[in-house]
């Protein structure tokens, strides 16, 4: 299978589906794509997922091409409404070929928090919790025997002193570290925290408070790296110049939280699109990513870029809690199709895809900012959307979009005017 599909974006949708089915080696066929028709979710399934359902809401579902991740060709599923994200990711992935992106995953450890308030003697409580840790962990593991048999389950217990006094008295939080294997693990961790809370409070000599996971999953991270040769960054022998401009843009984000926020948004453009397509809790990942970016006390970029003699080196490090079992995957056929298209069987591989997509969209944004500016490509794609919104079909879509982009007046009313004129000209012929 290859993800290098030149001209894929020019094909009609039916031909794109046929091409993907041919690449899938009998794992999917053209009929499999019915899972993403009309949003891929029946009203009945939607009604079983959340409350007060009155309908479904669809997003464009696409695949980013050209990706090689850890030496394996990959089609990267994306569900997103913003123009240019899929094209940008695909273009950056083309620059990274043939080596592509490389990822390293930590163990899939989630953290649950058990809050203990009104602790009578915090120093004695910390000692008692440390002494009781082996027994508490053994009790916790007995609650999830099958997960423990697969090498997962509770692996550590960490008490942390938060306050010696306050409106709630002295406060301690106990972190329960749980290896969730291929599950995202929120329900699992919350269940374990609730089951252990009263026992932990008795050991600490206080009262059990909140018992829930944290979305700052700094024990479950992905590191993604890429090295782009100078020649791949520019078409006119200006790759070295573009490289230095991207590195300068990275330094800007490292020094300024206002820029870092937008820099990180560009990363999440790619990450979130993969997470939405594959039925993940993207809000949890967003919360963890931004908290992780501020862990030093100042908000920093999640990805940095450096100039090397071999080319442009990029590295992304971020928390990324994803799962390939449980959650929306039980009910959402489009999410299951996305995993099949990507050839994802385990959570580590899904995290690798999301990390590579995030680093790719970050690279594409920085390259555009460092050269012609972000709006050129973005507005060209936006113009196509407005052309369709104005009623253009077939070849008129590109004709209307081209004129909008050329004149710089990318607005719906202008698109209607151009369509009316071009339509009249076409009829007169």
CA dihedral 419, 421, 422, 425 (to 10 degrees): 150
Of 37, 81, 82, 123, the active-site residue reads 82
Give the list of residues 6+ apart from residue 390 with CB closer than 8 angstroms, or none: 400, 412, 415, 416, 418, 419
DSSP secondary structure letter of residue 327: G
Give the residue carrying structure tokens 């794509």: 33
Of 177, 243, 378, 382, the active-site residue reads 378
DSSP 245-262: HHHHHHHHHHH-HHHHHH
The structure tokens listed for 353 are: 């895809």
In 205-256, alpha helices (H): 230-233, 239-255
| CA–CA dist 308, 240 (Å, integer) | 10
Of 281, 286, 340, 417, the active-site residue reads 281
Does the annotation count 346 as an active-site position?
no
Does the annotation count 263 as an active-site position?
no
Does the annotation count 426 as an active-site position?
no
Does the annotation count 265 as an active-site position?
yes
* 153-163: strand order across its sheet: 153-163, 170-179, 109-119, 207-213
Apex 76 CA angle, 73 and 80, nearest 5: 165
Of 18, 118, 175, 265, the active-site residue reads 265
**Positions marked catalytic:** 82, 265, 281, 378
């Amino acid at each position: 299978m290859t993800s290098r599909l030149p001209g894929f974006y020019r094909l009609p949708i039916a031909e794109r589906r046929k091409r993907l089915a041919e690449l899938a080696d009998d794992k999917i066929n053209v009929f499999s794509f019915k899972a993403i028709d009309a949003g891929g979710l029946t009203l009945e399934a939607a009604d079983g997922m959340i409350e007060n359902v009155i309908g479904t809401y669809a997003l464009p579902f696409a695949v980013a091409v050209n990706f090689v991740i850890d030496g394996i060709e990959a089609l990267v599923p994306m569900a997103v409404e913003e123009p240019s994200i899929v094209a940008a990711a695909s273009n950056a992935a083309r620059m990274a070929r043939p080596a592509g992106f490389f990822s390293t995953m930590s163990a899939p450890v989630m953290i649950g928090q058990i809050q203990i308030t009104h602790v009578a003697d915090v120093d004695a409580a910390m000692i008692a919790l440390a002494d009781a840790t082996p027994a508490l962990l053994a009790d916790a593991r007995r609650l999830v025997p099958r997960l423990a048999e697969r090498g997962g389950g509770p692996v550590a217990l960490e008490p942390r002193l938060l306050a010696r006094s306050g409106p709630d008295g002295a406060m301690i939080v106990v972190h329960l570290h749980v290896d969730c294997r291929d599950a995202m693990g929120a329900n699992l961790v919350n269940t374990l925290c609730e089951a252990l809370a009263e026992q932990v409070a008795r050991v600490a000599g206080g009262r059990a408070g909140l018992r829930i996971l944290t979305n700052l999953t700094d024990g479950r991270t992905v590191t993604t790296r890429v090295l782009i040769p100078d020649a791949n960054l520019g078409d006119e022998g200006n790759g070295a110049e573009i490289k230095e401009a991207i590195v300068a843009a990275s330094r800007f984000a490292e020094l300024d939280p206002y820029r870092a926020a937008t820099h990180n948004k560009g990363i999440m453009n790619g990450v979130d699109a993969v997470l939405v397509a594959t039925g993940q809790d993207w809000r949890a990942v967003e919360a963890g990513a931004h908290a992780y970016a501020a862990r030093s006390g100042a908000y920093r970029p999640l990805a940095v870029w450096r100039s090397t003699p071999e080319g442009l080196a990029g590295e992304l490090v971020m928390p990324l809690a994803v799962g390939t079992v449980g959650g929306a995957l039980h009910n959402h056929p489009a999410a299951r199709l996305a995993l099949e298209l990507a050839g994802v069987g385990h959570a580590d591989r899904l995290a690798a895809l999301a990390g590579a997509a995030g680093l790719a969209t970050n690279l594409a944004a920085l390259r555009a900012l460092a050269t012609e500016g972000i709006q050129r490509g973005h507005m060209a794609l936006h113009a196509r959307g407005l052309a369709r919104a104005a009623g253009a079909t077939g070849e008129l879509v590109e004709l209307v979009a081209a004129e909008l982009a050329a004149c710089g007046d990318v607005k719906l009313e202008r698109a209607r005017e151009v369509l009316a004129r071009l339509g009249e000209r076409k009829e007169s012929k």
